Amino acid sequence: MDNFEFYAPTRMIFGKDTHLQVGKIIKEYGFKKVLVHFGGNSAKKSGLLDTVLQALDQEGIAYVTLGGVQANPTLSMARQGIELCKKEGVEMVLAVGGGSVIDAAKAISYALCYEGDVWDFYAGKAQAQKALPVGVVLTLAASGSELSNSSVITNDRTHEKRGYNSDLARPVFAVMNPELTMTLPAYQTACGCCDIIMHTLERYFVQGPSMELTDALAEGLLRTVMAQSLILRDHPDDYDARAEIMWAGSLSHNDLTGLGHCARDFATHRLEHEVSGLYDVAHGAGLTALWGSWARYVYKDCLPRFCRFALHVMNVPEIGSDEAIALKGIEALEAFFASLSMPISLKELGLILSDEDLRTLARMCSHTAKDALGSAKVLHEKDMYTIYKAAYERT
Ligand code: NZQ
Ligand code: ZN
Please give the pLDDT value at position 48: 98
Residues with CB under 5 A from ligand 2 (ion): 195
Of 280, 278, 307, 275, nearest to 290 by C-alpha is 275
Q: Which ligand is nearest to the CA of 143?
A: 1
Please give the pLDDT value at position 209: 82
104: which residues sit within 8 A by CB, 6+ positions away? 37, 69, 73, 77, 78, 81, 95, 153
Q: Which ligand is nearest to the CA of 141?
A: 1
Determine if residue 256 is left, alpha or beta; phi over 0 gives left, psi from -120 to 50 gives alpha, anything else beta.
alpha
Please give the pLDDT value at position 58: 98
Please give the pLDDT value at position 208: 84
Distance 253 CA to ligand 2 centre (A): 8
Mean pLDDT by groups of 10 residues along the chain of 395 residues: 95 98 98 97 97 98 98 97 97 98 98 97 96 98 98 95 95 98 98 98 92 96 98 98 98 96 95 96 98 98 97 97 98 98 98 97 88 94 97 95
Q: Using DSSP, state whether 181 is helix, strand or coil.
A: helix
- Gap between the Cα atoms of 167 and 163, Å rounded: 13
- Residue 268, ligand 1, Cβ within 6 A: no
Please give the pLDDT value at position 279: 97
- Residue 366, ligand 1, Cβ within 6 A: no
- Residue 166, ligand 1, Cβ within 6 A: no
Beta bridge partners of 14: 176
Please give the pLDDT value at position 370: 76
Please give the pLDDT value at position 367: 84
Of 41, 148, 141, 50, nearest to 105 by C-alpha is 148
Distance 199 CA to ligand 1 centre (A): 15
- Gap between the Cα atoms of 282 and 277, Å rounded: 10
For the CA of 140, the closest atom of ligand 1 is: 12
